[in-house]
Amino acid sequence: MVKMVTTYGLPTKVVYCKKCVISNQRPNSTVEFKSTGKIKKTTIGFGKDGVCDACRFADYKVTKIDWEKREKELIALCNKYRRNDGYYDCIIPGSGGKDSGFTAHILKNKYGMNPLTVTWAPHLYTEIGWNNQMSWIQVGGFDNILFTPNGIVHRLLTKLAFENLLHPFQPFIIGQRLIAPKLALLYNIPLIFYGENQAEYGNRFEENDIPTMNEEFFAHRITLNNLYLGGISAKTLVREKKIAITDLNPYLPIPYSEIKKHHIKVHYLGYYLKWDPQENYYYSVENTGFVANNQRTEGSYSKYSSIDDKIDPFHYYTTLIKFGIGRATYDASQEIRNGKITREEGVALVRRYDQEFPAKYFKEFLEYIDINENTFWKHIDSGRSSHLWKKRAGKWRLSHRVS
């Protein structure tokens, strides 16, 4: 095990990208069911010029990619899988947000596919989230399967994930990544379309050149012995938390052998079409009845990004605690890279909103994971790395801020 000076083994010196407002503390995507919380996190790469990998990719996206060629590849892919016998030819996971609104609608209407949309339910639906889910189906016009996991198990895993990993959103992330491949197997629809590759936001640059998702995010060769959920091994969960192994079904990755046998493939639409979240917003409003939130989300300025789960703000808040970067940083960085706002504007927004506490659903969150406020703050404070947070006059403050 690596000896870590900082929590999660993050870079000791905080550096901000010269183009966007993300810092070098930003963690890359993890294979969640291997996470024990004691693993050193890989973080976003920075070039010698001080520019982060995500910005490098954004530049590459605009200057180097032949989008006409990529679209031709999409058309070929669609031609290969398209079914005209009335059965579904692809699965599109989503929630009726702006991105899945765009993905489903354009694949159906422009590229002639017959999608089955699939939703892994939010922990706790917001009103706007539910309305957008319904609009997706009723205005956008898609068949949809909504999978809601066993509430008792889901809450327990969320609680454990919060307590052990300060990562309450883990059960959602795991479930959401698995639902499409699982239903693909179940219904024999091997092609799955996601929106954008997370590599756009700073995972390994090379990952962007591949149209498909790395299978290790939803498949496994591991046994139940080294499978972890909520930071606890599956064996311990069954033994000590009185969860039946069958209750863990929605969170268990799929055997590689099954993936291979049925040729399950996850493709990123963002590989084939130039991904622009803001344009997805306009598209979804015009085509699938998407409605932005009436007010900005706590911790950010955005009204259209990720507005369907009351727990979601706590995902970003714990990200702020663990890595010193909050929701506004993520939203602003994306908009800077896509040319919607300038870095200066992003800095102003991050300074204004990044550290805002998500008070609106706090009570519900505490109830959901069944802890009291004191315990909540105990866990939060234990997740603050000393290289990021200092306590002054009884208050925790970030040692760095973007400029």
Site string for other proteins, 257-296 (x = CB under 8 A): ---------------------xx-xx--x-----xx-xxx
Residue 403 contacts other proteins per CB under 8 A? no
In this chain, which of 22, 58, 273, 341 binds other proteins, going by CB under 8 A? 341
Backbone Cα Rg of the chain: 21
Q: Which of 17, 144, 99 is nearest to 281 (CA)?
A: 99
Contact yes or no for 253/213 (Cβ under 8 A): no
Question: What is the residue type of 318?
Answer: T
CB burial readout 167-189, b (16+ within 10 A) else e: bbbbbbbbbbbbbbbbbbbeeeb
Binding mask 289-308 for other proteins (x = CB under 8 A): --xx-xxx----xxxx----
Shortest distance, position 295 Cβ to other proteins, whole Å: 4
Residue count, binding to other proteins (CB under 8 A): 22
Residues with Cβ within 8 Å of 362's Cβ and at least 6 positions away in sequence, in order, are none
To other proteins, the closest distance from the beta carbon of 273 in angstroms equals 17
Residue 160: closest CA among 402, 368, 384, 374 = 368
Q: Which is nearer to other proteins, 75 or 134 (CB)?
A: 134
Beta strands in 307-381 (DSSP E): none
- x/- mask, other proteins, residues 22-51, rule CB under 8 A, reads ------------------------------
Beta carbon nearer to other proteins, 216 or 279: 279
Q: Answer whether 212's CB lies under 8 Å from 267's CB.
A: yes
How remote is the C-alpha of 263 from its chain's centroid? 24
Binding mask 311-340 for other proteins (x = CB under 8 A): ------------------------x----x
Q: Which is nearer to other proteins, 28 or 278 (by Cβ)? A: 278
- If phi > 0 it is left, if psi is from -120 to 50 it is alpha, else beta; for residue 50 that is left
Applying CB under 8 A, the residues found at the interface with other proteins are: 278-279, 281-282, 285, 291-292, 294-296, 301-304, 335, 340-342, 345, 348-349, 352
